């Protein structure tokens, strides 16, 4: 008898792996956008702590 356990586990896990990769990339892009906006606001506003 052929054991298909490894194949079936991969078949069940690959959508989860792709979803987690997508969420990771989306989180990083959102974080990059927030940090970029923060730096731009910091650059545009005059320094008052000097």
Phi, psi values for residue 46, rounded to 5°? -70, 150
What is the per-residue pLDDT for 46?
Answer: 74
Share of the chain above pLDDT 90, in %: 64
CA atoms of 8 and 2, how far apart (whole Å): 12
Give domain limits for the chain.
19-44
7-30 pLDDT, tens per residue?
999 999 999 999 999 999 999 999
In 1-50, which ranges are E strands?
none
pTM of the predicted protein model? 0.63
What is the per-residue pLDDT for 21?
Answer: 98
């Amino acid at each position: 008898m052929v054991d298909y356990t490894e194949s079936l586990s991969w078949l069940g896990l690959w959508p989860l792996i792709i979803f987690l990769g997508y969420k990771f990339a989306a989180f990083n892009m959102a974080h990059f956008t927030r940090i970029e906006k923060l730096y731009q606001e910091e650059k545009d506003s005059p320094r008052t702590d000097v």
